[in-house]
Structure 1
Amino acid sequence: MMNDKQTPTHADDAHETAEIICGDGYRLHGHFLPRAAGTSAGLPVLISPATGVRQHFYLRFARWLAAQGHDVLVFDYRGIGLSLHGSLRDCNATLADWGQQDQVAAIDWLLNRTGAEQIVIIGHSAGGQMIGLLPNHHRVARLVGVAASTGWFKAMKPAFRLKAHFGMRLVLPLGIRLKGYGTTAIIGLGENLPAGVARQWGQWCAAGGYARNAVKHQAHRDFHSQVRTPVTVLHAEDDDIATAGTVADLLSTLPSAPRQVRCLRPHEHGLRRIGHLDWFRQSHQVLWPLMAQAVRGEHITPDGRTQG
């Protein structure tokens, strides 16, 4: 599944550290990279990470995107990387908090810092799944979901479904009981997670509909049907998590949002594999212009070219 063991890289001199204060007072930490001097200004971009992936994994891509003319903010969710304060065992974060608190605050921070009316979200996996939880969803001009889906077990291929179900419904609860946190690292699911995050992650993937599970019977906090932000989902043919079925499950939660879905075949881009995580690796820079095209709102043809 997830393994973000890419060698960490640090932002270059043209960056700011960002302290993002959430509505409940929690402090998140990120990096802000201003667009390169002399470039035409595009909309600011918020990079929202995948579950259990630290912000440093995205910094090379963030620097590249800033060179294309975008102000870029990347951050760690509460309980992850620079946004973990104290012991992981004592962190009471939930997956719902990552949307309802963390993404909301990150959007507001980027809007305030840039003075823009709207921003674009590049959401990797979980980062592209939670727009229906955001009361400020209307400030998002476009959502680019990279390997974004619900991860619904029933829409996965049978062999991987069994592996995912075993890991998230059996191994993680046992780890929570023994360690007090989600021991995701030992089963290849990225950084260890706060218990509440790991518990909800397993529940949502089992139920389907992902973030809608956070707002059942809470109509005042459920914005899924109101979202009209155009959504582009890019996923790979060899991704065991973001499959055609799990992507469709995600889009079914956003009935009013215009959408386009593009499934990439690695060999058509000169790559042996893409999978769930490799989009942002330096070795896969051939995919970065495709993501930038989606950020600009260009129509992407099935073979990865643009129209208009």
Structure 2
Amino acid sequence: MTTVTADGVTLHGIFYPAAEPRSTPSAVLICSGTGIKQGFYRSFAQWLSERGHDVLTFDYRGIGASLHESHVRHSKARKQDWGQQDIPAMLEWLARESGLEQVTLFGHSAGGQFTGVIPNYRRIARMVGVASSTGYIGYSPLHFRLLAGGLLKLYMPLANGVLGYTPCQWIGWGEDLPPGVARQWSQWCSSPGYVANALGTDIQQDYHQQLQLPMTFIHAVDDPIATRGNVADLTRLYPAAQIRVQTLIPAQHGLKHIGHIDFFRRSHQGLWPLLAKAIEE
């Protein structure tokens, strides 16, 4: 499927209609992490559709099928555009396709960080954030703090300046990023609050205080990014929301590792009923 955002950008997604509709119809918008293409969530999306949910995945502007420029260095995408333009457009498409007033926003990592800047937030029935946090490097373990600090404060600005974009595939950090995305990612992770650091400057519309919906945040103890401190740093931005935080210990689920992205791998599908429960309760 394709849809066009309010500012005229065409986005590409994949729709997984419910195999058999639930007694109470449900639709789930899966919002990707930074630099992760929608295909990474295919197995999980198919599994959810088999449980009776309409499911939509998509690529943000500047990523995967939604990169329309000849090279990522030419993309004008910014991180804030993902929250202010791309997610809203997909919320509208999914609500219209499913015939529902509200849908579930299911965000992985960055996908769960933008809820407070989404202008049509009233389309969201509930938000489930998996490994979603502010990502502030100061709240990460020391070894990761040193690594992430080097990447965010040295590698990204240098790569942007020399190459005009940030090659993340070289270092195993997902898809190559448009310069505007990398710039804001570096800036937002350098201080507590993440997207809140751009409020009043790059971002003028702020809905954090108005959100009263249920929000569930699920993270693993071995995640060096979505640590307890960083999850708490994100949840504090939603004072009126109904917040619930679940912290997973890999061994309690028969796993050696969960980390930041393994939730959606087939090897970890034993976790999927837990994620579905957060959607369906």
For residues 134 and 110 of structure 2, the distance between their equivalents in structure 1, rounded to whole angstroms, comes to: 8
- Does the alignment pair 1:69 with 2:58? no
Equivalent in the alignment of 1:5: none
For residues 38 and 75 of structure 1, the distance between their equivalents in structure 2, rounded to whole angstroms, comes to: 22
- Name the CA shift for 1:36/1:175 in 2 (closer, same or farther; >3 Å): same
Cα offset for 1:129? 0.5
Equivalent in the alignment of 2:221: 237
For residues 250 and 210 of structure 1, the distance between their equivalents in structure 2, rounded to whole angstroms, comes to: 8
Kept in 2, the 8 Å contact 1:41–1:70? The answer is: no
For residues 167 and 160 of structure 2, the distance between their equivalents in structure 1, rounded to whole angstroms, comes to: 7
For residues 157 and 229 of structure 1, the distance between their equivalents in structure 2, rounded to whole angstroms, comes to: 31
**Equivalent pairs: percent with the same residue?**
49
2:121 to 131, 134, 137: 137
For residues 187 and 204 of structure 2, the distance between their equivalents in structure 1, rounded to whole angstroms, comes to: 22
- Does the alignment pair 1:59 with 2:42? yes
For residues 198 and 41 of structure 2, the distance between their equivalents in structure 1, rounded to whole angstroms, comes to: 27
For residues 227 and 113 of structure 1, the distance between their equivalents in structure 2, rounded to whole angstroms, comes to: 24
For residues 214 and 110 of structure 1, the distance between their equivalents in structure 2, rounded to whole angstroms, comes to: 28
Equivalent in the alignment of 1:259: 243
TM alignment of 1:71-86, pairs within 5 A = 71-86=54-69
Kept in 2, the 8 Å contact 1:167–1:187? The answer is: no
Kept in 2, the 8 Å contact 1:142–1:230? The answer is: yes
For residues 73 and 38 of structure 2, the distance between their equivalents in structure 1, rounded to whole angstroms, comes to: 21
1:125 to 98, 103, 109: 109
- Does the alignment pair 1:222 with 2:206? yes
For residues 80 and 202 of structure 2, the distance between their equivalents in structure 1, rounded to whole angstroms, comes to: 13
Kept in 1, the 8 Å contact 2:41–2:57? The answer is: yes
Q: Deviations over 1:22-77 (max 9, x none)?
A: 00010000000100036544420000000000000001100000001100000000
- Name the CA shift for 1:197/1:218 in 2 (closer, same or farther; >3 Å): closer
For residues 51 and 45 of structure 2, the distance between their equivalents in structure 1, rounded to whole angstroms, comes to: 10
State the one-letter code of the partner of 2:239.
Answer: P
Q: Which runs of 5+ in 1 are unaligned?
A: 1-17, 298-308
- Name the CA shift for 1:218/1:169 in 2 (closer, same or farther; >3 Å): closer
Match of 2:257, SS? coil
Equivalent in the alignment of 1:271: 255
- Name the CA shift for 1:219/1:126 in 2 (closer, same or farther; >3 Å): closer
TM alignment of 1:86-105, pairs within 5 A = 86=69, 87-105=71-89
For residues 24 and 175 of structure 1, the distance between their equivalents in structure 2, rounded to whole angstroms, comes to: 28
State the one-letter code of the partner of 1:126.
Answer: A
Equivalent in the alignment of 1:153: 137
Which 4+ runs in 1 deviate beyond 3 A? 38-42, 217-220
Equivalent in the alignment of 2:27: 44
For residues 131 and 75 of structure 2, the distance between their equivalents in structure 1, rounded to whole angstroms, comes to: 27
Cα offset for 1:108? 0.7
Q: Deviations over 1:198-231 (max 9, x none)?
A: 0100100002211222322588611111111211
Equivalent in the alignment of 1:188: 172
Equivalent in the alignment of 2:232: 248
TM-score (norm 1): 0.88
For residues 219 and 62 of structure 1, the distance between their equivalents in structure 2, rounded to whole angstroms, comes to: 31
Match of 2:244, SS? strand
1:31 to 10, 14, 18: 14
Equivalent in the alignment of 2:267: 283
- Name the CA shift for 1:164/1:120 in 2 (closer, same or farther; >3 Å): same
Equivalent in the alignment of 2:157: 173
Q: Which runs of 5+ in 2 are unaligned?
A: none
For residues 202 and 219 of structure 1, the distance between their equivalents in structure 2, rounded to whole angstroms, comes to: 16
- Name the CA shift for 1:229/1:218 in 2 (closer, same or farther; >3 Å): farther
Match of 1:74, SS? strand
Between the two proteins, the alignment pairs up a number of residues equal to 280
For residues 204 and 96 of structure 2, the distance between their equivalents in structure 1, rounded to whole angstroms, comes to: 25
130-139 or 71-80, which moves further after superposition? 130-139
For residues 204 and 197 of structure 2, the distance between their equivalents in structure 1, rounded to whole angstroms, comes to: 14
Q: Deviations over 1:75-123 (max 9, x none)?
A: 0000000000022111010000000000111101111111101000110
